Amino acid sequence: MRNIPFLDLKAQYDSIAPDIHRELKEVCEKNAYILGPKVTAFEDAFARYVGAKHCIALNSGTSALHLAMLCLKIGPGDEVILPAMTFIATAWGALYAGANPVMVDVDPVTRTLDPTKLEAAITPRTKAIIPVHLYGQPADLNPIRQIADRRGIPVVEDAAQSHGAKYRGTPVGAIGAIGCFSFYPGKNLGAYGEGGALTTNDDAIAKHARVLRDHGQSQRYHHDEIGFNYRMDGFQGAVLGVKLPHLTEWSNQRRRVASLYSDKLAPLARDGLLSIPSEAEWSHGVFHLYVVLARKRDDVRQQLERAGIQTGLHYPIPLHLQKALGASQRKRGEFPVSERIGEECISLPMFPELSDADAGYVADQVTQIVRRD
């Protein structure tokens, strides 16, 4: 029996280990442990990669979302619109700033924020809209931005899972007012610890974010406002600097795996037995995750585990049903698409080094299990 992991970070590390060790050694030799030249070099390179004027490296994607709210002067009493189907960190940014997250359902095909549901959620208190580029697939930004622009509402892209994804040929993260990225180790561009970044084309936002991430100081020991210790450390800047030149090729390999899955699982989708990812004509996804929907999700996962295949769940509980976000005041059925995804989602193994043979085995096992059930 095969043993196929959901994610294999060791395989990627082995391919770049000498470069990683060289860069980490240089950080140690120069004692540049917090921010420093490796972080600055990565900021410049990543800004170019996503087509943004500025990149502010941070200690997590959650911190990026928090600073995005503060840079837009969002605070208590304000509302921030975001999809019900996403990781909870999307809501943390608004909550940390004292604002209220307002959820809308996602599109059943793209599984990203449904533009047709957006306008009804806007109120005079709406101060930002956060579309999430979920699973590595861009949200449909044009209609979202058209609605937002008419109301004078900034769009903040949650691109934590979508490094290098493109919307109508333009990289995500520099299309809205602010882009927020995570470099959590399992991401397509992952650090060897926590990491994140805020990207923007706005000089004032970039300047403010740099002050906020460093204890609110514009110069050393001059603290002009309440700030945070959200700085990226030198080790993570070094690791990300090594990895970034490989990102396009790694994304292409993810697309290879996704294409193989989709080809093999298409008959199940045609027969209504399984829902598989679908790329819109305006989307160039990078498949951080390959998420299928199966009615007997838990049974399918158990059988895949017995076949030597590890799977994941992203995300079984939509935001409106999370206790921390006031689930006791909500009811099931409010956001049916998000709820269905939560109940049926299975994330299949996905990483650039996954071989065609192993991906084919995964798809064959899924087919056999779903057909049998």
**pLDDT tens digits, one per residue of 103-156:** 999 999 999 999 999 999 999 999 999 999 999 999 999 999 999 999 999 999
pLDDT at 327: 81
Whether the per-residue pLDDT at 49 is higher than 90: the answer is yes
Alpha carbons 226 and 234: distance in angstroms, whole number: 24
pLDDT at 315: 97
pLDDT at 193: 97
Please report which confidence band the pLDDT of residue 285 belongs to, taking 50, 70 and 90 as the band edges: very high
Token digits for 234? 């030198």
> For residue range 61-93, what is the model confidence (pLDDT) as tens digits?
999 999 999 999 999 999 999 999 999 999 999
Looking at every residue in the chain, the average pLDDT score rounds to: 97
Question: Helix (H, G, I), strand (E, B), or coil: what is residue 128?
Answer: strand
Token digits for 360? 């084919």
- Contact of 312 with 78, CB cutoff 8 Å: no
pLDDT at 328: 73
- Per the DSSP assignment, residues forming a β-bridge with 182 are 196
- Give the pLDDT mean for 259-284: 97
- Per the DSSP assignment, residues forming a β-bridge with 58 are 196, 231
Which residue pairs, CB below 8 angstroms and at least 24 apart, start in 100-106?
100/125, 101/319, 101/325, 102/126, 103/318, 103/319, 103/320, 103/335, 104/335, 105/335, 105/336, 105/337, 105/338, 106/134, 106/335, 106/337, 106/338, 106/341
pLDDT at 67: 98
Whether the per-residue pLDDT at 309 is higher than 90: the answer is yes
Please report which confidence band the pLDDT of residue 359 belongs to, taking 50, 70 and 90 as the band edges: very high
- Contact of 288 with 188, CB cutoff 8 Å: yes
* Placement of tokens 């809209």 in the chain: 129
What residue type is assigned to position 64 of the chain?
A
Taken in order of first residue, the domains within the chain and their CATH numbers are: 9-245 (3.40.640.10), 247-372 (3.90.1150.10)
pLDDT at 174: 96
pLDDT at 373: 76
- Give the pLDDT mean for 236-256: 98
- Contact of 57 with 237, CB cutoff 8 Å: yes
pLDDT at 180: 98
- Contact of 186 with 50, CB cutoff 8 Å: no
pLDDT at 206: 98
Question: Helix (H, G, I), strand (E, B), or coil: what is residue 124?
Answer: coil
- Contact of 93 with 69, CB cutoff 8 Å: yes
Please report which confidence band the pLDDT of residue 331 belongs to, taking 50, 70 and 90 as the band edges: confident
Whether the per-residue pLDDT at 269 is higher than 90: the answer is yes
- Give the pLDDT mean for 285-307: 98
129-143 b/e (C-beta count within 10 Å ≥ 16 → b) = bbbbbbbbbbbbbee
What residue type is assigned to position 107 of the chain?
D
- Contact of 172 with 133, CB cutoff 8 Å: yes
Question: Helix (H, G, I), strand (E, B), or coil: what is residue 333?
Answer: coil
Please report which confidence band the pLDDT of residue 43 belongs to, taking 50, 70 and 90 as the band edges: very high
- Give the pLDDT mean for 16-37: 97
The gap from C-alpha 131 to its chain's centroid, in whole angstroms, comes to 11
| Interacting residues of 178 by C-beta distance below 8 A, sequence separation 6+ | 68, 71, 72, 154, 156, 157, 198, 199, 200, 202, 205
Alpha carbons 99 and 116: distance in angstroms, whole number: 24
Whether the per-residue pLDDT at 275 is higher than 80: the answer is yes
Alpha carbons 311 and 94: distance in angstroms, whole number: 31
Direct distance between the N- and C-terminal alpha carbons of the chain, in angstroms, rounded to an integer: 21
pLDDT at 189: 98
- Give the pLDDT mean for 326-336: 87
Percent of the chain with pLDDT over 70: 100
- Give the pLDDT mean for 206-234: 96
Whether the per-residue pLDDT at 254 is higher than 90: the answer is yes
Please report which confidence band the pLDDT of residue 330 belongs to, taking 50, 70 and 90 as the band edges: confident
pLDDT at 80: 98
